[in-house]
Amino acid sequence: MEDGVQEFCPQGVSGWSFAARPSKTARDRIMRAASYLFCNHGFAATGVDTIIARAETAKATLYNHFASKEELIAAVLQAEGETWREWFFGRLAEVEGPARTRMLAVFDVFGEWFSDPGFYGCPFINAVAEFDNGNDAVRAAAAIHKDHILTWLKAQAIELRVTGDVAEVARSFAVLIDGAIVATQHTRDPSFARTARHLAEVYLDTLTKR
């Protein structure tokens, strides 16, 4: 089927993955095939021909929607970020309790993510690591994604009335988050989410007891 619509649903992957969402158009089909391959096999290592084969489409169709592989990477990162944030913040919205509870729940949600058999790490961390030549588009996409998370964390820190700079509190949580993601990706051990949660508890205690 040249340009038909097919779903790419990696086994075990839940709502956090763009690649696992159903495709409605040929463009969706290409993007989901590319997303799966980029995130699981690498952005640089995945060639256009491999994407075309997985998407079961023609090269002309791909280039009709994306002028270059770089443009496709940018579109995939945007879609992955939007999908993941919809899932992540949706899960956090279900958490009842004060700001401290919500902040610590971040790591409970990460524990769910890390435990998914389809977990492949953070596409933004992976992309920035691969394109260490200063790819502006990749770094801009990663910065936008990170800013969403930092903004949410700062809002919780304000509500918690922590002492000190709320931006620094958010940055400290970001260090724990990124560290847990990378450690889990390298070891396949989801318990790093629990370790990061414990460190976050200790950190919040030092801020609220001053």
Could you report the per-residue pLDDT of 46-75, keeping only the tens digit for each? 999 999 999 999 999 999 999 999 999 999
What would the two tokens of residue 7 be? 């779903």
pLDDT at 152: 98
The predicted pLDDT at position 208 comes to: 72
Q: Report whether pLDDT(1) > 50.
A: no
* CATH superfamily, region 95-208: Tetracycline Repressor, domain 2 (1.10.357.10)
Q: Any idea where the domains of the chain sit in the sequence?
A: 1-76, 95-208
Per-residue pLDDT tens digits for 100-115: 999 999 999 999 999 9
pLDDT band at 13 (very low <50, low <70, confident <90, very high): low
Determine contact, residues 87/94, Cβ cutoff 8 Å. Answer: no
Q: How far apart are the first and last CA of the chain?
A: 65
CATH for 1-76 is 1.10.357.10
b or e along 143-154 (b: 16 or more beta carbons within 10 Å of the residue's beta carbon)?
A: eebbeebbebbb
Residue 3's pLDDT is 33
Same fold, 1-76 and 95-208: yes
- The pLDDT of residue 7 is 40
- DSSP letters, 23-40, are P-SHHHHHHHHHHHHHHH
Of the candidates 145, 136, 126, the residue with the CA atom closest to the CA atom of residue 39 = 126
Question: Is the pLDDT score of 209 beyond 90?
Answer: no
Let me know: does 203 contact 157? Beta carbons within 8 Å.
no
- pLDDT tens-digit series, residues 76-107: 999 999 999 999 999 999 999 999 999 999 99
